[in-house]
Structure 1
């Protein structure tokens, strides 16, 4: 309709604006739920504001939270039936500091118990996290909490020794925590009691690879007799008494004391028939969810993972829902769980730290997987296998995202966790995240179902800090074609190659990232990971691993002080490794068939290139100095003189890794750039401090004569402190190391390069000459 009259036009515009005006509700800790919800007369709870959003026909609603802490009695639950199609935002008002707490504020009336310990009556059924002035305190535990200890902040081999258990009057309700024997995550047990000085345990379901407990990396907590250090606490539910050994320098009587309570804070839940759409949560701080280690854990197909499908924020059956510019801290479990059907939902611009488990999880439902098998050793026989490509239904995250987030200090209790987890999902976009200080991977993909993910511009470092055999980026691909018996899998894949990409339908692209793992691989494509394209990445420490899998391309990557690790490849894998810069020889394990192409790569020296060519690869590759522009500052672009450019290598930006938001960038730790262990350093560095000891190169005929050496190569132990791990491993002053990890150790730089190669294993074999006799030793590296 054409409107000619100006007055009539204005009337139409006013009507349109009114119809499109959002409902605004204001909520304050000092409000009242009988108020109308205006800025002047705010409501007290989010639930009351949600109950009023359908009071008129406006298409969108906004709930503004005023400054303060909101202690929830139950999770805030938002459903598609509640919104009836409205757009909804819940956000802090004008960037005020808003906390949604799953905990409770308590006010203990402290009295002296005995010694340094106080006690107070607390009318609370039970809790597993306690905070004093915002700082989480440890439960009573053995060994005591140690910030410098690598695993669990302190472990002891005798944590459940009979002599210790005998000192516990009533250990029921305590916990035993331990690493997996292979250091593949952790196990957690509740102590039900003790019999004959042996604890009675229930639990251990948190890891999908059953194994005995690690013999040394274990600790116990929540046992009254272990309340013996400042900051520890114990709550006895039978008497409702809270015992506290106050932290040093803290007067707890006026202190703010909070305890955990709920497991979830906000739940966004639609239905399969009617998804929840267009909800935004912005500028909120989420705190104090309860630990979830003893909840129901679900196996994620044949990956190593079990998972609790919950978090501070849970999304299920959503579309276009997001959490943005928020903060997650002091949480007992996961931060965000995006579970089942979700499309274009995710997390952006948020800070996630000091939490018990994973940060952001995209986890589909196993009902969408054809011929789903659960557990590493399980397999659906070919005759019974559904051979239809792709998913059975849409109950999985699709085109969801984790972008511009700062994630660190996670997995405080659960070690099988990650910064971003992807399982049974498709086309997940993980970009511009900074992730560090994690016990296992920074980013993990647990299967090949159904690919299409884009992992780009992330900065991931200080990874695999408490576990082993993993990477800064890790993946598994134990899909339909995969079998735990290699001979069975070989014959199956050879006879039925059409099975290989039934699940991994779309390529996973990993590009323009910076990864650093000093305790494993920078990129670890494990057990059947297939259909990957990996390019333009800087790998700062651990190199690149391709274990058994198909159709993978790695090109134009830079591997600082490390190299390519091909493990047990298939015949006709279709793998390609080309135009990469490596600084060590390849490290193949049981590789006879070298894929489709391994060529046009730059090696550091002629020896390493010759080693590759002996396997009939790299006939067009070259050797020489990569000629990085400014490696000390992390600029690994190469100069025009670099031989890498002649091989087809192309420079890519070095200033686009990690989070882009200025506020988060300012908070983030910075990755450390390694010293280049290259030929120039080998020629110039004669001595160094190595694992606490002073070492130097063998120098001239004098050393050769003095130590009885066959040549002028090797490393002399000059000064080794008694307290150093080298001394404890059996090395002595004047020993000459000539071989490490079965490689020639000609000089201190080469020795350090070998150490970096095996650091994650925890041990390194060395061969030394001592008094003109050969001695073989194992050095502990952890």
Structure 2
């Protein structure tokens, strides 16, 4: 029996039903006899009544289709508690829609789960490998990128490269043939992070907002050939002939290898050496896992996501999904030769000539239009061309792509009262970027959701991503503990970097209001709490409204409200912003739609911030009536109390959608040596698995110190002393909560203490011996 994460429906569900899309409760519709009942313990040969439920969702779907046309009210498909395993995606189309002004409601019960995973059983110790266990991969599991033990995401085998490498046109030359004998080389990935923290800064690959990955194609002796097209798409991006160093896509660097090496290797059996790590050997159809202390694989629920999509819906209308936990889906494109050649926010360069033409439109011969139409991250639940849809009182968790994708031409749809967490990429995606002037994504409402602890794998993802759209409302959500930006709006503004106007688009009248955003950009840089770029309307009256949000606790370099390239007609009014690393609101950009030399029109008014800009008009950027906030407690109570989840939805903050376990490992560890000690800093963990962090364990050689989490949050570093001068040390960090310690971080570059280093002026901070 699979582990079931319970969902609280009850009173919260009643509130949602009352407000969502004016849906009529089935009990009052007069069509109760048309309802369909489905249970994991039912039988598909039965009639689907409450006394004779069917067993599978596809059979329930068939019955709902048959009955919808004859119903005189809403039809409810009642999903009993338990796990509904899917062997293939559940595909909806217009035939599944509500008819005659009525709705079809897929209503979960307490503990209803729709799963694309397969349970892994039959574990036994691996001879000659102390602590390592293996099990046969379940039938139908040909590949996956995730493994969960008792509802907790575990770490795919990772480690530093055992060799140094030098880039070539097709990959790398290694300093030794160490890796040539590794098993399954085409499954191994090189990962390029955005530099180590503070003292070990490196170049940022494809931008400090990205974390690209490319698989290996083959290895022979010291020659490492990288997989295509990922390699070309990440190293050969076209440059403007007359602008040195400026790629035609205008978003970031043109070459992944320009001063950079892979940060670490992932998905190699040879680096599986730490409790909490796992590896799928596809050639032998075997899953390997090194259990953590106290884990019993004979009783544990071990789940491997097999499906890439749980639900797809095309042309669907007037349908609600309520009270369901969507879980255990993967995404395999990054494991293919396409890899993950990231542009921004999960969009990637793909195809054999992606580097040369994809999204480059008028800027190169044969460029694909429109400009910036790169490949979006798919959703594990995907809607295309839908209208009048509702997703409420549900959980989106244990997912390997984006959680919920509301693709091009989605309209009049509500996403309310849900939890989004433990997702590899973006949380919610709205609209697209390949129909800037003809697309019609509109009137999408994303309200009162809690998004946190994401993205877990593709760290450049965002909690809510909105492309080109009209009349969308993103309001009263709480977004916290995320790797990069919390909300990203708009697209196509980068041409201002070459003094060209942003891509024309039909976006207008979008609202981002009353959200509570904190502890964001915990892994990457150059983003914001609310990030927008491109044209947002035709005037300040129709442009994007960013109002009443409370934003604080940024770590990475960026801004609270980031008005980036080509960001035209945005209103930033009445927000509370503090604790931001770079700027509360910014920046101004020249408006190249004419030759007047003005900036993109922007209104920044009535905010409570630490930035303190004077009132004025900077060529169209109007700053007025803002208030210097010298203490967060002085922010207006009316704004602070109104931001985030509304009272009826605050129970989401205590709803668990993951298993209980240790936190995720810290990232971007950096170390600096001094006399007999090393100073260490890192990016904090942001996924906690239902127990708050209490401390970090910092190890240098054989010595480990503990620093309380609250102390690290305040001072930002730890000290390991008692070290020998002249000795090289490798430093790692583990995050700790009441369930134990995470897997160790990837190590910082080795450092060597010495007495001469103390003259640099760094002083010792407090430590506690572990």
Q: TM-score range, shorter-chain basis? A: 0.5 to 0.7
Three-state SS of the structure 2 residue aligned to 1:50 is helix
The answer to whether the 8 Å contact 1:332/1:356 transfers is: yes
Three-state SS of the structure 2 residue aligned to 1:654 is helix
> How far 1:217 moved relative to its partner?
7.1
> How far 1:437 moved relative to its partner?
1.6
Matches within 5 A, 1:273-352: 276-294=316-334, 306-308=374-376, 310-352=378-420
Q: Structure 1 residues 440, 304: closer, same or farther in 2, change over 3 A?
A: farther
> How far 1:283 moved relative to its partner?
0.6
Tell me the distance in 2 between the aligned counterparts of 1:305 and 1:251: 48
1:11-41 Cα distance to aligned partner (Å, 9 max, x none):
xxxxx98965462111111111001112222
Aligned residues: 553
Tell me the distance in 2 between the aligned counterparts of 1:504 and 1:196: 61
The answer to whether the 8 Å contact 1:570/1:593 transfers is: no
1:326-361 Cα distance to aligned partner (Å, 9 max, x none):
011111111100001111113110001111001111
Match of 1:28 among 39, 42, 59: 39
Counterpart position of 1:723: 678
Tell me the distance in 2 between the aligned counterparts of 1:414 and 1:159: 27
Counterpart position of 2:12: none
Three-state SS of the structure 2 residue aligned to 1:399 is strand
Tell me the distance in 1 between the aligned counterparts of 2:30 and 2:289: 58
Match of 2:159 among 129, 133, 142: 142
Tell me the distance in 2 between the aligned counterparts of 1:216 and 1:586: 41
1:636 and 2:635 are equivalent in the alignment: yes
Structure 1 residues not aligned, in runs of 5+:
1-15, 145-157, 271-275, 370-390, 480-499, 552-568, 604-625, 638-650, 670-690, 694-718, 727-751, 756-773, 778-782
Superposed CA RMSD: 4.1
Matches within 5 A, 1:126-141: 126-141=143-158
Counterpart position of 2:620: 595
1:108 and 2:96 are equivalent in the alignment: no
> How far 1:775 moved relative to its partner?
9.2
Three-state SS of the structure 1 residue aligned to 2:652 is helix
Q: Structure 1 residues 255, 473: closer, same or farther in 2, change over 3 A?
A: same
1:162-206 Cα distance to aligned partner (Å, 9 max, x none):
565356354221122223523121212122221343432232669
The answer to whether the 8 Å contact 1:365/1:424 transfers is: yes
> How far 1:70 moved relative to its partner?
1.3
Counterpart position of 1:610: none
The answer to whether the 8 Å contact 1:104/1:261 transfers is: yes
> How far 1:599 moved relative to its partner?
5.1
Counterpart position of 2:526: 469
Three-state SS of the structure 2 residue aligned to 1:47 is helix
Counterpart position of 2:135: 120
Higher relative contact order (CA 8 A, sep 6+): 2
Three-state SS of the structure 2 residue aligned to 1:229 is coil
Match of 1:176 among 190, 200, 208: 190
Please identify the structure whose Cα radius of gyration is greater.
1
The answer to whether the 8 Å contact 1:305/1:416 transfers is: no
Tell me the distance in 1 between the aligned counterparts of 2:304 and 2:512: 37
Q: Structure 1 residues 238, 667: closer, same or farther in 2, change over 3 A?
A: closer
1:545 and 2:545 are equivalent in the alignment: no
> How far 1:75 moved relative to its partner?
1.0
Tell me the distance in 2 between the aligned counterparts of 1:178 and 1:397: 34
Structure 2 residues not aligned, in runs of 5+:
1-26, 162-171, 194-203, 235-248, 339-346, 350-357, 361-370, 492-504, 658-669, 682-712, 717-758, 763-770
The answer to whether the 8 Å contact 2:571/2:602 transfers is: no
Counterpart position of 2:482: 438
1:414 and 2:461 are equivalent in the alignment: no
Q: Structure 1 residues 576, 512: closer, same or farther in 2, change over 3 A?
A: closer
Counterpart position of 1:424: 468
Matches within 5 A, 1:101-250: 101-116=115-130, 117-122=132-137, 123=139, 124-143=141-160, 162=176, 165-166=179-180, 168-179=182-193, 180-181=204-205, 182-202=207-227, 203=230, 209=252, 210-212=254-256, 215=260, 218-250=263-295
> How far 1:109 moved relative to its partner?
4.5
> How far 1:161 moved relative to its partner?
6.7
Counterpart position of 2:58: 47
Q: Structure 1 residues 550, 455: closer, same or farther in 2, change over 3 A?
A: farther
1:667-705 Cα distance to aligned partner (Å, 9 max, x none):
599xxxxxxxxxxxxxxxxxxxxx999xxxxxxxxxxxx
